């Protein structure tokens, strides 16, 4: 009876969302200009292509039991967090594409090869490696422009990200031990062996490698399910957010600067902060000019960058991270994963701003 009621509720929610999504599309048809549709179509095509290819390739790797050949690279990390071997694969994948990495673990959870805890912790860890990979693309240009300020900024960013990842893994390890103690109370003597064992591949991967015809069939079905979810969840949200951004409905964020900070931040710093909203490279280029004329210090650049992060991260989350996460992860897990990450990053950034102003201001 409970399952039938839950199924009815899911159907109602699905139909309600489809109605909302169709309303979004109809509204955009009559209000969005051609440029928005071109950009949105291109961006969505790119997203669908990357996620679709990643989902298919990931399924092939998993069903052919190839994960054992690449899992050893990240196995120490997953072993510490008591995570399955596919989590190690997703960590490596996150260096190239966070969406692809999250697709792997979300599909594994749907098929029962990964618990909810393992999926969420894996996704949280993937975010750090994806951020590191993305940051290295502009790290060298920033170093050439602002020198030590870039070192300070990225030392903090990477340090906080690494600390958060270690905490996530530690919590996962503790929860895993707690669950094992509850389920294995009659085997206390064997608990040490359980804790120290190496991460294991899913049982089906250890015992069976599917034929190529079966692999392609299963991979196609998995990819179709993932892309369908992206189509009716991610696409409408992405197009609506793009329309709102192009209509300057998010511009009010760029004007939010606490009055209490104005006495510590010079006009030069406010200029860097404003440029930061447009991107790190833009801000670094302006800051380098002020550095050469000694109108600004390294710590002030870092503070300006941090304030920029606090202001721009919510917008970036709404525009990019949230729609993708909600489309990839089942239920509302994508929402909670994104909110957890962004909340922690915002809190640590605010703490860093306050500390630096108190120390250097």
Whole-angstrom distance, CA of residue 114 vs CA of residue 314: 30
189 vs 353: which has the higher pLDDT: 353
pLDDT at residue 194 in the model? 38
Helix (H, G, I), strand (E, B) or coil at 309: helix
pLDDT at residue 124 in the model? 92
Confidence band of 163 (pLDDT split at 50, 70, 90): very high
- Say if 320 falls within a structural domain: yes
Evaluate if residue 193 carries a pLDDT over 50: no
- Say if 53 falls within a structural domain: no
Lowest mean pLDDT among 176-180, 212-216, 319-323: 176-180
Whole-angstrom distance, CA of residue 284 vs CA of residue 143: 9
Long-range contacts (CB closer than 8 Å, 24 or more residues apart) made by 89-95? 89/58, 89/61, 89/62, 90/122, 90/126, 91/122, 91/125, 91/126, 91/129, 93/54, 93/58, 93/126, 94/125, 94/126, 94/127, 94/129, 94/130, 94/133, 95/129, 95/130, 95/132, 95/133
Percentage with pLDDT > 70 across the chain? 79
Confidence band of 211 (pLDDT split at 50, 70, 90): confident
If phi > 0 it is left, if psi is from -120 to 50 it is alpha, else beta; for residue 82 that is left
Whole-angstrom distance, CA of residue 82 vs CA of residue 202: 13
Percentage with pLDDT > 90 across the chain? 7
**Structural domain harbouring 255:** 251-361
pLDDT at residue 4 in the model? 64
Confidence band of 352 (pLDDT split at 50, 70, 90): confident
26 vs 277: which has the higher pLDDT: 26
- Say if 202 falls within a structural domain: no
Whole-angstrom distance, CA of residue 117 vs CA of residue 256: 37
343 within 8 A of 289, measured Cβ to Cβ: no
Report yes or no on whether pTM surpasses 0.85.
no
pLDDT at residue 201 in the model? 38
pLDDT at residue 195 in the model? 40
Mean pLDDT of the chain: 77
Q: Note the pLDDT tens digit of each residue in 315-348.
A: 777 777 788 888 888 878 888 998 898 889 889 9
In this prediction, residues 138-157 reach a mean pLDDT of 85
Whole-angstrom distance, CA of residue 314 vs CA of residue 111: 32
- Say if 39 falls within a structural domain: no
Q: Note the pLDDT tens digit of each residue in 24-77.
A: 888 888 887 888 888 788 878 877 887 788 778 777 877 776 655 556 667 788
- Say if 30 falls within a structural domain: no
- Say if 95 falls within a structural domain: no
Confidence band of 209 (pLDDT split at 50, 70, 90): low
Evaluate if residue 196 carries a pLDDT over 60: no
pLDDT at residue 197 in the model? 41
Whole-angstrom distance, CA of residue 103 vs CA of residue 261: 41
Confidence band of 308 (pLDDT split at 50, 70, 90): confident
Cα dihedral 134, 136, 138, 141 in deg (nearest 10): 180
DSSP 319: I
Burial level of 149, CB count in 10 A (0-12/13-18/19+)?
buried
Q: Note the pLDDT tens digit of each residue in 219-254.
A: 888 888 878 877 877 788 778 877 876 777 655 555
- Say if 297 falls within a structural domain: yes
pLDDT at residue 121 in the model? 92
Query: Buried (b) or exposed (e) across 291-323, using 16+ Cβ within 10 A?
Result: beeeebbbbbbbbbbbbbbbbbbebebbbbbbb
pLDDT at residue 190 in the model? 44
Q: Note the pLDDT tens digit of each residue in 165-175.
A: 999 999 989 88
Number of structural domains in the chain = 1
- Say if 264 falls within a structural domain: yes
Alpha-helical (H) ranges within the chain are 2-31, 34-63, 75-81, 85-94, 98-110, 116-146, 148-183, 191-196, 203-207, 212-229, 235-246, 259-262, 267-277, 280-292, 298-316, 322-328, 333-360
Phi, psi of 65 (to 5 degrees): 60, 40
């Amino acid at each position: 009876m409970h399952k039938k009621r839950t199924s009815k509720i899911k159907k109602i929610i699905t139909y309600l969302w489809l109605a909302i999504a169709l309303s979004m599309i109809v509204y955009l048809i009559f209000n969005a200009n051609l440029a928005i549709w071109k950009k949105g179509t291109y961006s969505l095509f790119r997203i669908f292509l990357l996620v679709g290819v990643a989902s298919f390739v990931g399924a092939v790797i998993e069903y052919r039991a190839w994960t054992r050949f690449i899992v050893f690279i990240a196995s120490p990390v997953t072993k510490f967090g008591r995570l399955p071997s596919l989590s190690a694969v997703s960590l490596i994948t996150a260096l190239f594409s966070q969406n692809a990495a999250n697709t792997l673990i979300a599909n594994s959870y749907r098929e029962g090869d990964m618990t909810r805890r393992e999926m969420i912790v894996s996704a949280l860890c993937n975010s750090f490696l994806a951020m590191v990979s993305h940051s290295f693309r502009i790290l060298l240009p920033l170093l050439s422009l602002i020198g030590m300020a870039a070192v300070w900024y990225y030392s903090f960013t990477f340090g906080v990200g690494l600390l958060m990842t270690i905490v996530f893994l530690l919590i996962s390890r503790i929860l895993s031990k707690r669950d094992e103690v509850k389920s294995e109370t009659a085997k206390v003597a064997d608990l040490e062996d359980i804790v120290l064992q190496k991460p294991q591949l899913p049982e089906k991967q250890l015992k069976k490698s599917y034929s190529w015809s079966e692999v392609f069939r299963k991979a196609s079905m998995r990819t179709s399910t993932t892309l369908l979810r992206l189509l009716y969840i991610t696409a409408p949200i992405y197009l609506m957010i793009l329309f709102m951004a192009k209509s300057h409905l998010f511009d009010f964020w760029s004007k939010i600067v606490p009055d209490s900070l104005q006495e510590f931040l010079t006009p030069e710093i406010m200029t860097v902060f404003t440029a930061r909203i447009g991107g790190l490279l833009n801000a670094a280029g302006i800051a380098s000019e002020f550095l050469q004329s000694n109108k600004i210090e390294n710590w002030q650049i870092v503070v300006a960058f941090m304030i920029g992060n606090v202001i721009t991260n919510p917008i970036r989350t709404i525009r990019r991270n949230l729609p993708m996460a909600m489309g990839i992860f089942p239920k509302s897990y994508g929402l909670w994963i994104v909110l957890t990450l962004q909340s922690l990053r915002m809190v640590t950034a605010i703490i860093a701003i306050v500390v630096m102003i108190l120390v250097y201001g």
